[in-house]
Amino acid sequence: MSALSTPHPGVVTVTLNAAIDQTLDVPGFAAGAVNRAVAETRTAGGKGINVAAFLAGAAIPVTATGFLGEENSAVFDTLFRRRGIRDRCLRLAGRSRVNIKLVDREGRSVTDINLPGLHVPAESWRGLLTVVDDLAVTNRTFVLSGSVPAGVPDTAYAEMVTALHRRGAFVVVDASGPPLRHAVAARPDMVKPNAAELAELLGRPLKDRAEVMRAARELSESGIALVVVSLGAEGAVFVEGGRALLAVPPPVEVASTVGAGDAMVAGVVAARLEGGGLEECARRGTAFAAGTLSRLGPELPPPERLAELMRAVRVEDARVEEL
């Protein structure tokens, strides 16, 4: 029986580099020209914060921890209060970073401008490790995701994986670059890179979907129970044990791709917490990701629309050993 097949009190998401996502709807955006936004939204962001938002409202309690800047934490306070997310974030002097998203629906493009984040003092990093250890007493599912801010070592997720496994937790890592490489060496229970992040991790190009599946198998065979590789509009690859699935979403109108990967993580975690197998994880994770594409900010569509998307997801069984 997998670690997520048994009941758990709740899910904890860890966001080391939280952000405020400022999304500007700019039809026909052109670099080097005067552009006019027709709409603006500001939402609490950062990958772990997004996962918490997507999971909130279900029967499973959700806790968010990590670092926030004291000077602009109000948007996070509002999100936590509105969604019923338990707040165990540490406040630091300064401001959480702002990520500006320029969305051009006409041109179907998103331009990202990410500002610098907080510098985390060594004592604050040690304080967060204490908070996470405390949360592991009563929670057994942890999602560690996003970039690592200045002051936090690249080994941050690896340290957390090792400590949480000692507590018997199921640990998901969604990161990139050196933090992902170190985390993979600690053998988390699930990872969710995209194809480019997986290629960087393995140090070789992945030219097609078959090569992505082979690479996902390598990670699975190294001791990571569930490997999910997102492929954008082509869907995602899910590998567990000797089985591989390709999940392809139905066509949807894209308002923004921001948070789609986080929605996929949330969908997979939600499915597994309800005892779902690999196909249910693939179907729900892909439906969550597709559902958020038509919305600005970390929002899922209504339950009936999610159910419709889940039915429309095409799941294909691929025998990994034949690739």
Q: How far apart are CA 182 and CA 263, in angstroms?
A: 24
Of 77, 174, 262, 317, catalytic: 262
Residue 65 and residue 88 in contact, taking contact as beta carbons nearer than 8 Å: yes
Q: Which of 251, 252, 196 shows the shortest CA–CA distance to 229?
A: 196
Whether 262 is a known active-site residue: answer yes
Residue 300 and residue 292 in contact, taking contact as beta carbons nearer than 8 Å: yes
Residue at token pair 């986080």: 262
3-state secondary structure of 13: strand
Residue 304 and residue 271 in contact, taking contact as beta carbons nearer than 8 Å: no
Q: Which of 82, 36, 114, 43 shows the shortest CA–CA distance to 296?
A: 43
Burial class (CB in 10 A: 0-12, 13-18, 19+), 73: buried
Q: Which pair of tokens denotes residue 252? A: 């949807």
Residues with a catalytic annotation lie at 262
